[in-house]
Chain A
């Protein structure tokens, strides 16, 4: 694993986004992750990230910045799937998600039933990546 410093991460973000608003958005999210009790951070939603960056950025910029931070380039967020069913949350593994997309049916982890039209019920949430956890 390549060891990378906080400074290098910030530089990389600026290099990739230059003067675009995503630069500031990514830095704000990075700051939030390293300043929090990140060992406990296990369920960060888009809504929460919206709070972190504030209202002055539009959704499009926030979404593309988050997408970037989940990628391999500057991997600060781990994206995960969950099924939300009547206010209950069920984690869905990447493998199950792949299977669901190929077969068109998702296995409900609790009921054991296969459900169609699951795209309306599956959501993405985030955790700090191992890169962040190894930094602090």
Chain B
């Protein structure tokens, strides 16, 4: 294919071969915060799907390692993404575009109280409640099976915390993800968090896999 000029349509058509390229024009031309978040979440979803394609390679990765991979993929799309460990050494992700900011927390799921810790860490970083810092996300790296049951339980765990003006809603693009909103104590603003499971369950059913997994146990 010769590319002297590429129309928007041609870029969109290339999306199936080069994920994220169809969104390229929207990404650089974005002028409002909500649109910035919408495109960022689409890009994050693509990255998550890619990671989920090879769970076998991720079995020994730490939270840092997984988050750094996401950060690197975002950077390659052109995002000003950074991995900031100054808050007690846990992993988190910061994405900026001009005044727009998005922060992500990452936790390898072990217990719901551990996830709750991540949730709290995320909310405390938004003490300014700035107009262009209304959204954040939690990556939940799940190596166990039955992710939808885990997510459902997590949702209920959040509900039980009785946060001020708490609300949850489904994600239109991905069944397993969901959004929670609650009133941020310090700023009094609504803070919306996307809960993003990353499925890293790996239990191969074929002979070679079974042999390996038996050895592990």
Direct contact between the two chains A and B in their complex (CB within 8 A) = yes
B77–A120 touching, CB < 8 Å:
no
Bound complex: CA A95 to CA B20 (Å) = 21
Determine if B62 is an interface residue (Cβ-Cβ < 8 Å). no
* Cβ-closest chain B residue relative to A20: B76
Q: Known: A16-B72, A120-B9. Contact between A73 and B80, CB under 8 A?
A: yes
Instruction: Report chain A residues within 8 Å CB of B7.
Output: 119-123
B25–A71 touching, CB < 8 Å:
no
Instruction: Report chain B residues within 8 Å CB of A62.
Output: 3
Instruction: Report chain A residues within 8 Å CB of B11.
Output: 124
Interface size class of A (residues with CB under 8 A): 35 or more
Q: Which of B27-35, B51-59, B107-115, B198-206 lies at the interface with chain A?
A: B27-35
A71–B79 touching, CB < 8 Å:
yes
Determine if B65 is an interface residue (Cβ-Cβ < 8 Å). no
Determine if A5 is an interface residue (Cβ-Cβ < 8 Å). no
Q: Known: A60-B18, A95-B31, A119-B12. Contact between A46 and B3, CB under 8 A?
A: yes
Determine if A70 is an interface residue (Cβ-Cβ < 8 Å). yes
* Cβ-closest chain A residue relative to B25: A124
Determine if A131 is an interface residue (Cβ-Cβ < 8 Å). no
Instruction: Report chain B residues within 8 Å CB of A47.
Output: 2-5
Instruction: Report chain B residues within 8 Å CB of A84.
Output: 5
Near B by CB (< 8 A), chain A positions 30-71 give 45-47, 50, 59-60, 62-64, 67-71
Determine if B140 is an interface residue (Cβ-Cβ < 8 Å). no
User: Which of these, B6, B8, B31, B79, contacts A98 with CB under 8 Å?
Assistant: B31
Determine if B66 is an interface residue (Cβ-Cβ < 8 Å). no
A81–B27 touching, CB < 8 Å:
no
Most buried by B among A68, A73, A122: A73
Bound complex: CA A124 to CA B25 (Å) = 8
Instruction: Report chain B residues within 8 Å CB of A45.
Output: 4-5
A-B contact pairs, 26 of them (CB 8 A): A45-B5, A47-B2, A47-B5, A59-B1, A59-B3, A60-B18, A63-B6, A64-B18, A64-B21, A64-B76, A67-B21, A68-B78, A69-B78, A70-B28, A70-B78, A72-B78, A73-B79, A73-B80, A74-B78, A81-B25, A98-B35, A101-B26, A119-B8, A120-B7, A123-B7, A124-B8
Known: A47-B2, A67-B24, A124-B25. 5 other contacts (CB 8 A): A16-B75, A46-B6, A72-B80, A119-B7, A122-B8
